[in-house]
Chain A
Amino acid sequence: MLDAHPRATDIPSGTEAPPIVTFEGVTKRYPGIIANDSIDMEFRAGEVHVLLGENGAGKSTLVSMLSGLQQPDDGRILIDGVEKPIGSPGEALEIGISTVFQHSMLVPSLTLVENATLGRKWWQKPDREGTAQVMNAAAERIGVRLDPMALTGDLSLGERQQAEITRALMRGARFLILDEATAMLTPDDAARLGELMRRLAAEGMAVVFITHKLNEAVAYGDRVSVLRLGKKVGGLSPEELKSLDPQEATNAVVQLMFGTREASTGERDRPDATTVDRSAKPTLELLALYAKSGRVPLENIEFKVWPGEILGIAGIDGNGQKQLASTIAGQAPVSDGRIILDGAYIDKMTIGQRREKGLRYVTDDRLGEGTVGTFPMSINLLLKEIGQTPYWRGGIEQPEAIRENARQKVKEFDIRTPSIDTPVGKLSGGNIQKVLLARELAGAARVVIFEKPTYGLDLANIAATKMRIREAAQSGAAVILISTELDELLELSHRIAVMDQGRVAGIVENEDGARHKIGALMSGAEK
């Protein structure tokens, strides 16, 4: 039996608001997998209910049943204590359930007011003035400042999410689902969203908050539920959360998620510097590199990476990191400057030639450019080797060799997949990342670029990915690690370059005080 909140029933009902939505033994099955296995859960007014779990633990399925996109195969859903199915997203809205996703659902070419009037009947004239007033009132109620006449496309993602929450309130939402809403936000915007959650709960709303970040869960949540492999494995009640300090609460959650405490601490020590051989020739060298075509043009980038070294690239997201990676890999043109790999100029080479020279690029856009989602996993493992022996001979596919390669990679990289023929798009994020790692780290890699390699992964997959990054360096490759997580960079890199508006603001040795220096460079203090 599940060890759901054994205490929930002990608490006298008078002290808590009644649940708006109750799940009783809710089960959802997909072919080959039980996504949600008899989940019991209550979502109460005035509470921020945090859902935690690894990738593929069943959070998204649970949310899609809450928002009416999916129907449970078994079990009951109670609304205000009465059994009632949530048959469609429309019905969910009628009940007052609204969802805010990590990607904005507003139309960028319309103003906020126009977005808010979209739900009206087609024969009604959009009442911009009136709607703007209602919007301002709703925003004020929850302490959000926004300009209803602003064009949505001009706003930051954080501002758009605030606008979406405001719009949900205008539509009478009393139950708000924030599905990984902080994943794409800057730390400041994420903190602002956290405060907003607290205010919404104080207003008497039920908030369901899905996140990967344990510190957010502990900081903003009233109640935590942990899912693992489709089952609810436990959680923290409001009383438990209050009585524990943040560190203790985090440890408790980690233990629930992984059954161990180790995953959270990891190896906090410095990277092993003995593998780096700076007396040797640098493997990769960038000389006064300019690339003007991207959204953030690169200007005068210069650095060297030695064999066995991990060079971290820090910086706030969108300061040219993506352009840097794709320029080195050959996906974006160089406008000036040179790139040298093992003593040879590669800046005029094609993507394929650079790969043959040993350049590897683990992209962060795993489904967008890393894989073809509809193709079998086994083919995606060979996407960059199409036509090469032994998988193709004389241009003809050799199915057995392709399958054998996939079976081997599944074992070696612990890829969890129903079958090697499963379309890669159906795998969880962590397993898609393993497919990419398996593909890029195959063969003789000389330079490996990891772009936000742990983004969106759960702790177990983060640990596995970090291990692969270290192994790549230990095998003698020069590693470039692009990340927005400073802790990750400090844990793995030997040196850290800070990028700011398409330039390298400075390169810092990873020694005592590095964190402070990087912070100063990122904020632009040391220019």
Chain B
Amino acid sequence: MNTQTMTDDTVQTTEMRQKLRSIAGVLLMSLGPVLMAFILSGVILLILKVNPFSYYGYVFGRGLLSPTGVQATLTRMGPLLLIAASLIVAFRAGIWNLGGDAQFLVGAVFCAAATPLMAPHVPVWLGLLAGAAISAIFGGLWALLPAFLRAYQGLNEIITTLMMNFLGISLASVLVKLVFLDPSTTVPQTRTLAVEDRLPTLFGTTISSGLIIGLVAILAVHFVMTRTAFGLRLRVVGGNASAAVHAGLAVPLLTVMVFAISGGLAGLSGGVAILGQYGNVRADWNPAYSLSIVPLVFLARFNGFAAIGFVGLFSILSIGAESAARRTGVPNYFTLVTIGILLVMLAVSEYYSAKRQKAGA
């Protein structure tokens, strides 16, 4: 095929057509598994003798259609979006940071310990800013050990970050029980941040402005990864580490930076959850958001916009399932069944897209 003989017009139309086709392909590959996951979960509900239509009716009725439900959904999206941003940075750079749960918790615990103590002495905005910074810093610090091991010793970060999860989750619990304990209650939990010192809610609703932080973070990450020199460097490291060395990139330094950014965003997610929603950390609290978001980020093919959509869907499901559980007797972790099936469907679609690509190669 000779491009030189083509006129600019035909180049443009073929480019357009290719773009359209690739967009259609991405949509099919992203939404197809979702649809199949709902159908198969519906079949499981049928086996449990629950009407899937009424179950999902309750789920979406609560998570999406009721005013309080939708506010809860949007509030939960804030921390989840930050987790997604954290994962996108790492995964695009070819680094499988699966330690987000611990980074989240460590960030949350230090934020919850420090902010209520600061709040009475400083303006609200400064307290919030400091709290957010503390959560990001400690989240980032918790990612540094795997970072150095990966960057300078070549140790597999999947193993180390997962191991750091066990340590971090236990550490968070120990800190809450022994060090940051609120002396005024008998329940093992940190001091509680007063409601008026928390992140402001949006437009007179109960939606936390953490949602805005999450949206800004994920869009910023998407922009940095796709449009900037820094993002491209990270993607080169992820795409072919030998090529990155050959091109003169400081691969170990970039690796450490990726871990720090990724851990920082996960930590910030914990901070936003505390500053916006919970106000304190109870011992043994671990929402394990990170590992639930991993499949969603894959479904979104590391695309920030698509990730917003999937995180929204997950938020609706998890909020809605809590209500549906009470009405239909289906336990609320049935959401995890749907997500689990979604993962399998994702693998199947991945298999077919790889096969298609191979046929097209």
Contacts and interface: CB of A to CB of B under 8 A. Distances in A.
B361 interface: yes
A296 B76 CA distance: 57
A370 B229 CA distance: 19
Interface of A: 30-33, 329-331, 350-352, 354-355, 361, 363, 365, 368-375, 379, 383-384, 386-387, 392, 395-397, 410-411, 416-419, 421, 426
11 contacts: A31-B360, A350-B248, A351-B246, A371-B240, A375-B239, A386-B247, A387-B233, A392-B229, A395-B228, A395-B229, A397-B227
Given A355-B248, A369-B245, A395-B230, A419 B236 contact: no
B243 interface: yes
A386 B229 contact: yes
The 3 closest A-B pairs by CB, nearest first: A351-B248, A387-B229, A352-B248
Nearest to A33: B1
Given A363-B246, A372-B240, A392-B229, 9 more contacts: A330-B248, A350-B248, A355-B248, A368-B240, A368-B242, A369-B245, A371-B240, A372-B239, A386-B249
B228 A384 contact: no
A387 B228 CA distance: 8
Contacts of A383: 236, 243, 247
Contacts of B245: 331, 351, 369
Contacts of A418: 1, 3
A417 B229 CA distance: 25
Nearest to B241: A369
Contacts of A32: 1
B22 to A, nearest CB: 11
Contact of B232 (A33, A351, A386): A386
Contacts of B239: 372-375
A416 B5 CA distance: 12
A424 to B, nearest CB: 10
B284 interface: no
B176 to A, nearest CB: 41
Given A369-B240, A397-B232, A426 B361 contact: yes
A281 to B, nearest CB: 26
Nearest to B19: A421
Nearest to A384: B247
A369 B242 CA distance: 5
Contacts of A371: 240, 243
B93 to A, nearest CB: 13
Contacts of B232: 379, 386, 397
A269 B253 CA distance: 49
Given A351-B248, A369-B243, A383-B243, A397 B228 contact: yes
Contacts of A411: 4
A30 B360 CA distance: 6
Interface string B239-272: 1101101111110000000000000000000000
B104 to A, nearest CB: 29
Contact of B240 (A329, A350, A373, A419): A373
